[in-house]
Amino acid sequence: MNKTVSLDTSWDEEWLQSAELKAMIGLADIFMPNLKEAQRITGKHDPEEALAELAALCPVTVIKLGERGAIGQSDGKRYAAEAPQADVVDSTGAGDCFAAGFLYGWLQGRHMADCLRIANYCGSKSVEAVGGYTGAPSREQLLKALNGL
C-alpha cells in the first residue's frame, strides 16, 4: 500500500503539548505545523531548533512561517523558501492552501525545494481574497506563475 500520510495540526495548547501528538507525528510521512504550533510542541522559540526537533520525529517536516515563507527538512537536509509578496486581504485558509500546494508538489515527485516554492505560492495567493479558498490558484495559474514547475 503505497500511501503518504500528512499531518497538520490546529491550535489547542493542551493537545500541542501532549505525548499523544508527538506519537502521531512519528507515524506521519509529512508534518506541517505553523511556527506558533511548532514552538508550542517543542518548547523551542528558535524556528531552526523547532525544525530539528520535529524532523527527528517525522521524515519530512515543514514549518510554515507566514509572510516569511517556510523552512523544511527531508532526508537530513534543510530547505528554506521565501514567500512571494502578497496584498493581504484575509489570512483565513492560508495554511491549508500552503499544505495543498506542498502536497501537490510532493505527490508529483517534485524536489523538496520546489514543493516549498509551490506551497508558498499557493498560500500567498490565498491571502489575496476573502475566504479560505477563494484566492487559491488553479493548476494552470500555478504552472504559469512558476514557469511550468
So which residues are the catalytic ones?
96
Look at residues 34, 145, 31, 144 and name the one whose alpha carbon lies nearest to residue 86.
Answer: 145
Question: Reduced to 3 DSSP states, what percent helix, strand and coil does the chain have, rounded to the nearest 5?
Answer: 45, 15, 40
Q: Name the E strands within the chain.
A: 6-7, 30-31, 60-64, 70-74, 77-81
Nearest-angstrom CA–CA distance, 25 and 120: 22
